[in-house]
Amino acid sequence: MIYRLYRGLTTMGGPLIAAYLERRKARGKEDAARFAERLGHPGQPRPAGPIVWMHGASVGEALSMLPLAERLIARGLGVLMTTGTVTSARLLAERLPAGAIHQYVPVDRIAYVRSFLNHWRPDLALWAESEYWPNLLAETRHRGIPQVLIQGRMSARSFASWKKVPGFMRKMLSGFALCLAQTESDAGRIRALGGRDVRCLGNLKYAVAPLPCDGAALESLRTATAGRPLWLAASTHPGEEAMAGRVHAALGLAGLLTVVVPRHHTRGPEIAAGLRAQGLAVALRSAGEAVAAGTQVYVADTMGELGLFYRLGGPVFVGKSLCAGGGQNPFEPALLGAAVMFGPLMDNFPDMAPSMLAAKAALRVGDENELAAAVGALLADPPALRAAGAAAQAWAEGEAGVLEQVEQALSPFLAPLEAGHARP
């Protein structure tokens, strides 16, 4: 009943959907140059041969799928990666493996979905995390395209919501022949809502390659910061940048450089203005302002450069964990040997965060004062800083075997495609 209502509303509401998308485009939240892809119109021709369609909602989901995409291409299969955000498209333009294609996922309206599927004719669909679009799932199932849920995630809050409409969720999950959950908790919730063949093999975010960086840019920054104590506040959200400024002032270390990398780079000028209002000398990377001797805070508001700043060697605070909730990915700095710390609000990483803490691969700070104390202690003790980074890296490298397990679980779906037969 609910699905039929949803299907009817998305069919009849075409003009309203179109108006909504136009408003998003005007605000820069849709890619004007590739807007037709959101309406199901292809931006590229379909290559010959079988295609595995991989879908992730945004940056994190898409990046976690890249190691698997590389494995599929190595097996001679085509890969179509879809995402829904402008930011994810920009990052994938740089990081998508050779031979893979990126398209924007069509908006979940029957006409758009059918146009997309008619053109691309995927032979296998891999959906990441918790991106459940009813029309897209149903139309894919109706065409007999095998579907697998990868990195399946189901928070306690989402589970409570979906339990109120169990039939609707069961119908959406029924299209997945296999559900690979991130954690045992996720697996239990997905299973309780009707998922078939639900397994927990681990988190593909453990299989990602180290974040890239430009070697020349790294050398330039190392030269500019040589001999100075520094620390990094990474993937910050509103409130955490001002907190970083207060921590800088509280530490009172001569020559201290605080580097702030906001999760949303477009907030850079606003963040810089707020830190300057605290009386701090700020340089803004997007404005071409270099780190000078008198710079106290460097706001690195550019895309795709976290790997550069993680390599600078100072303690790393992972944002969205003190002033905002959920947490950002602590695995990335750990893999690069950074001393990692985060706040108590790490709900997006219910297994990863405790595992890191148990292995002494990360430090949890309860508030701003504890953050300042932890950063100060590590900067005052270089051997302890190096030991914390080594422990983080050892833990991260020890978790990297999940990719082989996922690929093995997918073998029954991949074997028929390796014969080279694409869907008609």
- Determine whether 404 is an active site residue: no
Angle at 87 (CA atoms; ends 84, 91), nearest 5 degrees = 110
Q: Give the other-Cβ count within 10 Å of 288's Cβ.
A: 7
Q: Which helix (H) or strand (E) holds 150?
A: strand 147-152
Amino acid at position 139, single letter = E
Note the Cα 89 to chain centre separation in Å: 12
Which one, of 113, 140, 123, lies nearest residue 47 by Cα? 123
Per the CB < 8 A criterion, the answer to whether 291 and 221 are in contact is yes
Catalytic residue among 61, 70, 129, 131: 61
Angle at 131 (CA atoms; ends 130, 135), nearest 5 degrees = 135
Q: Are strands 198-200 and 176-181 parallel, antiparallel or unpaired?
A: parallel
Output Rg (C-alpha) for the chain, integer angstroms. 23
Which one, of 322, 294, 315, lies nearest residue 388 by Cα? 315
Which one, of 256, 318, 322, 319, lies nearest residue 291 by Cα? 256
Give the whole-angstrom CA distance, residue 353 versus residue 370. 18
Give the whole-angstrom CA distance, residue 42 versus residue 39. 9
Which one, of 293, 288, 329, 333, lies nearest residue 309 by Cα? 333
Distances (CA, A) of 8 to 13, 138, 314: 8, 14, 54
Which one, of 304, 221, 220, lies nearest residue 259 by Cα? 221
Measured between its terminal Cα atoms, the distance across the chain in Å is 32
Give the whole-angstrom CA distance, residue 92 versus residue 101. 9
Give catalytic residues, as residue numbers. 61
